[in-house]
Structure 1
Amino acid sequence: MSRFFTTPENIGDKTIRITDKQDIQHMIKVLRLREGDRIDVSDSVRWEYETEILRIDKEYVEAVILDKQKFTNEPFTKVTLFQGVPKQGKMELIIQKTVELGIYEIVPVFTDRTIVADNGNFSKKIERWQKVSDEAVKQCKRGIIPNVDGNITFSKMVSLLEGFDLVLFPYENEDKTTIKDVLRGLEHQPETVAIIIGPEGGFSDKEADLLKSINTECVTLGKTTLRTETAGMAALAMVMYELEL
């Protein structure tokens, strides 16, 4: 069944309404759904529903609730990726694949080595990246849509890190401590994890020294040096394997 998202305000005791215009058009023109067809619906917060369509209108789709249960496909650990903004279209690939792997939130970060030609038009990039997240999450049938936050500075990112149970800093110059060492050495499963990935060229020496001086776990992801669009996916996959599988 296809999965769609709504808000708790659109969910009643027996029925659900979907009001997103793009979703409605997708149902009508692409999926060609009809009254009586079944769809999955998530409230984007906690619950997912199996439903049967009662009415399809240009303004809304109404469905009767057949079954209700808590999310079954969401990881316990909420992982946030702080991603140094890469060049060209690499961010879309990063978002798509990390959403499939179970990321909770993606935060684009401007660092010393970030190269972006259109800083003044960055809000449009955020809108596009959020749509990539929306599309990816429907394909893999997760319960929430991971948020792509507005771009922040490196210093702002550093100020946010103290709010996480575990902060992983994969660094190309680290060759001793592996991510496996850190994850298997934990006494308890963390509820929140931050993964910090630099842009092409990595972090500057000044930035790396600062990250190593605060409460982060500086780790290696292996013997090879990964591209920025690969490193976040690899780190997230390792975290999910060790903590969730």
Structure 2
Amino acid sequence: MSKFFVDAGSIAGGSIRITNSDDRKHIQKVLRLGTGDLLTISDTVEFEYETEIISIEKDFIEARILDKQKFAREPKLQVTLFQGIPKQGKMETIIQKNIELGVYAVVPVFTDRTVVVDNGSFSNKIQRWQKIADEAVKQCKRGLIPEIQQAMTFKEMINSLNQYELIVFPYENEQDYSIKDYLKGIEKKPLNAALIIGPEGGFSDKEAKALLDLGAKSVTLGKTILRTETAGMAAMAMLMYELEL
């Protein structure tokens, strides 16, 4: 069953209204659903609903709530991926796969070795990446849609890291301390974490030092050097295995 997303204001009096034109078109034209058919709907905050379509109007579809449950597919650990912006279309794959693995938010980061330039139209990429996130969530049936946040500079990222209980910093020059060692040493499971991944070429020495000075512990993901699009997925899977499953 397909899942659709609404804001809390669309839920009232035991029913839910779907007003998004793309969703309405998908329900009617693609899924070919009508009155009496069932939909799963998320409020994108805490609850998901099993519903039955009771009315299809010009500007909305109304569905009666049959059952209400807290999200069943959302990790308790909220991981924000700070991703050094890669070249070409790699960011789309990074977003899609990390959302499937349970990432809470993605922040593109301009680093010393980032090749992509913010020429004023970067916000268009954020919009496109958010649409990819929306589609990935529907495919894996999560309860909320992870936000693709506005891009940050490396310095802005550094200044934002104090809000995270755990900082995971995979670094290609780290050889001895593994992510397994790091995660096994955690006594109390955190509620949130920052996962920091460099672009092609990794972090510069200056950036790595800034992270270490901040208190981040560098870890290795294994004996091989992973591509930027692979490193985040590998680390995310390890985080979910050790701290969530």
TM-score class normalised by the smaller sequence? over 0.9
Shifted more, 204-213 versus 52-61: the winner is: 52-61
Task: State whether residues 83 and 107 of structure 1, in contact with CA within 8 Å, keep that contact through their aligned partners in structure 2.
Answer: yes
- Alignment of structure 1 residues 1-245 onto 2, 5 Å: 1-117=1-117, 119-245=119-245
SS in 2 for 1:81: strand
Task: State whether residues 24 and 58 of structure 1, in contact with CA within 8 Å, keep that contact through their aligned partners in structure 2.
Answer: no
Question: Within 2, Cα distance between the matches of 1:178 and 1:158?
Answer: 22
Matching residue's letter, 2:127: E
Matching residue's letter, 1:37: D
Question: Within 2, Cα distance between the matches of 1:219 and 1:113?
Answer: 20
Output one character per residue of 1:172-195: Cα deviation in whole Å (capped at 9) or x when no partner: 000111111111111111001000
Q: TM-score, normalised by structure 1?
A: 0.98
Task: State whether residues 162 and 215 of structure 1, in contact with CA within 8 Å, keep that contact through their aligned partners in structure 2.
Answer: no
Q: TM-score, normalised by structure 2?
A: 0.98
Q: CA deviation at 1:118?
A: 5.4
SS in 2 for 1:120: coil
Q: For this pair of structures, how many residues does the alignment match?
A: 245
> Mind listing any 5+ residue stretches in structure 2 that lack a counterpart?
none
Question: Within 2, Cα distance between the matches of 1:124 and 1:86?
Answer: 16
Question: Within 2, Cα distance between the matches of 1:51 and 1:177?
Answer: 49
Q: CA deviation at 1:233?
A: 0.6
Question: Within 2, Cα distance between the matches of 1:10 and 1:68?
Answer: 15
> Mind listing any 5+ residue stretches in structure 1 that lack a counterpart?
none
State the identity as a percent: 61
- RMSD of aligned alpha carbons: 0.9
Shifted more, 28-37 versus 45-54: the winner is: 28-37
Q: CA deviation at 1:28?
A: 1.4
Matching residue's letter, 1:214: L
Q: CA deviation at 1:35?
A: 0.9
Question: Within 2, Cα distance between the matches of 1:69 and 1:36?
Answer: 21
Question: Within 2, Cα distance between the matches of 1:102 and 1:84?
Answer: 19
